[in-house]
Structure 1
Amino acid sequence: MAMMGSRSAGSLLRQLGPRLFSTAVISRAAAAAAEPSQALLYGSSIFATPARAPTTGVKLLSVRMASSSTPAQEEVGQQEEPAMTPGDERKEVVSYWGVAPLKLMKEDGTEWKWNCFRPWDTYSSDQTIDLKKHHKPTTLLDKIAFWTVKTLRVPTDIFFQRRYGCRAMMLETVAAVPGMVGGMLLHLRSLRRFEHSGGWIRALLEEAENERMHLMTFMEVAKPRWYERALVLAVQGVFFNAYFIGYLISPKFAHRVVGYLEEEAIHSYTEFLKEIDAGRIDNVPAPAIAIDYWRLPANSKLRDVVMVVRADEAHHRDVNHYASDIHYQGLELQKTPAPLGYH
């Protein structure tokens, strides 16, 4: 009798099972369970309503019924699924957070095409800055910094001579290093000491970013040769480590070196302008990246780009000499606010 009862119960379940737990129900439960991961992919909210979220019992029972379903039942379940039309297809969003990137527009209504910087990173360069300002070396550290930079200029003049396009490109690969090193070390110091930075971390990192944008601009003007690329690797490897150690030993000395490097950069860009005015370098149209970054007129030329870059270098010169003076006076960078809008 017990065996007959179990057989009748089993036959009853086999008859009612497909009706109670069809593959359509199983597929809907599986889709509901997969919604959180899909929500992250398509940029929608991951918080589903409680009514749509399947319970644990439904999940377990669905798995059991799915494993015991017959091929005929699976075929019926597949037919019950609605076909997806082309209009319902959703594209995957390529983003770390699963959120579609913003579609930015320029003021003239055209689409913003740069990923390396955004419209709010652009600015109009202040070209009224004094380009002839020079910090006269007075202390021993200042004199060492001054003659170190003067010594480094000799092989640079020999190698590049009057190829100012390539010279500017090489100069920017070096000039973008100090701001990153200084900002990184100040960042770590702020973490260790639980101190505010006074805005200097952001100021130095913005300086590094500004110098990198100079490089991205001159990459469109002068195409580096293979041996110039190899030289960049060697110079950057040596200069980064030397400046890192120098900043650890004496931030005052490190900022003074950068101040004198920027003075040499101003001189190099002035010579660059002379070559353009003399006709020995073609005054080609300005690269599109420079027009958008410095908010230049659409008909700007290479000369206009060199002018704004030279003004940027003058601002970097003043900031680094000011940072060195702060250390000379015995003040901490964290206790003295960084100058705003230096570039």
Structure 2
Amino acid sequence: MNHNAAMKLSGLLLRQVGRGALSTSTFRAFATEGSRHPGGGLAWLGAPMAGTRTKATLASPDAKESEKAAVLPSSAVSSDSASKAIVSYWGIAPPKVTKEDGSAWKWNCFRPWEAYTADVSIEVEKHHAPKTFMDKFAYYTVQTLKIPVGLLFQRRHMCHAMLLETVAAVPGMVGGMLLHCKSLRRFEHSGGWIKALLEEAENERMHLMTFIEVARPKWYERALVFAVQGVFVNAYFLAYVISPKLAHRIVGYLEEEAVISYTEFLKDLDNGTFENMPAPAIAIDYWRLPPDSTLRDVIVVIRADEAHHRDLNHYASDIQCQGQELKQAPAPIGYH
């Protein structure tokens, strides 16, 4: 970027920062001017992410409008446009993302490249037989915890699923955070386990985002989530610090119960006890389902996700049982 262009952009930015916020036209002018000079501006903001799973188009600003805004003095900017500050954390307008067909992407909780197709061929009835004392402790702990949950929800599958997902999304985040801190303390790699556990947490959260499109929790169910999450986050944190092997085994058995719960959900959908309504749009986009998919199709892919989480956590616990660090056995790739 030459000296004159740099001075022009600096002056433009300083005038706008003095007003308290960057306007849309100013940001576009900065991005456009910078893109005309190698290494300058914020041209990288419009670049698509590398390694995307699906094609996503980022809408670029109009060049003529940007160029015109770049040469206009601050006094020429209308008070109306200057008052419309960009609504984002850093004052920068997010890129417009579109689907492959050109339609607008409406979800801000995930992007097209984070969508995937679930592997529903996984064995859902698999069970890890508890052998050691720690395995039995983990298994009977989960069996004890499911008794009050079963009495509370019985066959109210949607409410049960929402509570289940608010809990199931915790272990991956807690475990990933602790492994992240451990990696920093020891100055060593994690074998991919940090990313695997965080992806598990995100996948579980997307299950919840799907269910709240179908049913809204009542006030006492929200209160129950606060109480359960407050206890479970701290309990699992301590369990993972004391014994990652035990923590992963507990999650493995929790996921086994989740698979059983969704299997019962499917039975009630098949016999007509629960209405098989159309699938939410968020589920169709996230799992790349056909447009005419139903709630049953969504439960099938969610159950497959839970089965993959089950196998991942039992595998992680087995590694710990063999006295190995997680980093010594790379995490499975694409475990979804």
TM-score category of the 2 structures, normalised to the smaller one? 0.7 to 0.9
Residue correspondence of structure 1 range 99-118 to structure 2 within 5 A:
99-118=92-111
Query: Which runs of 5 or more residues in structure 1 are unaligned?
Result: 1-30, 48-80
User: Within the alignment, does 1:146 sit opposite 2:139 as a pair?
Assistant: yes
Q: Deviations over 1:198-230 (max 9, x none)?
A: 111011001000000000111112221111111
Shift of 1:103: 1.0
Shift of 1:97: 4.2
**Paired AA for residue 180 in structure 1:** M
Shift of 1:94: 2.9
More off after superposition, 87-96 vs 237-246 = 87-96
User: Within the alignment, does 1:36 sit opposite 2:29 as a pair?
Assistant: no
**Paired AA for residue 267 in structure 1:** I
CA change 1:36–1:272 in 2 (3 A) is same
Residue correspondence of structure 1 range 47-196 to structure 2 within 5 A:
84=76, 89=81, 92-196=85-189
Q: Deviations over 1:99-147 (max 9, x none)?
A: 4311111122211011110000000000000111111111100000000
User: Within the alignment, does 1:290 sit opposite 2:267 as a pair?
Assistant: no
**Paired AA for residue 127 in structure 1:** V
Equivalent of residue 327 in structure 1, options 295, 316, 320? 320
Alignment match, 2:196: 203
| Bigger CA radius of gyration | 1
CA change 1:35–1:175 in 2 (3 A) is same
Shift of 1:315: 0.3
Counterpart contact for 2:12–2:74, Cα < 8 Å: no
Q: 1: distance between equivalents of 2:162 and 2:305? A: 15
CA change 1:340–1:85 in 2 (3 A) is closer
Identical amino acids, percent of aligned pairs = 66
SS at match of 1:131: coil
More off after superposition, 93-102 vs 229-238 = 93-102
SS at match of 1:228: helix
Alignment match, 1:337: 330
TM-score normalised by structure 2 residue count? 0.79
Query: Which runs of 5 or more residues in structure 2 are unaligned?
Result: 1-7, 35-72
Alignment match, 2:248: 255
SS at match of 1:104: strand
TM-score normalised by structure 1 residue count? 0.77
More off after superposition, 168-177 vs 100-109 = 100-109
Q: 1: distance between equivalents of 2:147 and 2:74? A: 75
Q: 2: distance between equivalents of 1:209 and 1:176? A: 7
Q: 2: distance between equivalents of 1:235 and 1:83? A: 56
RMSD across aligned positions (CA): 2.4
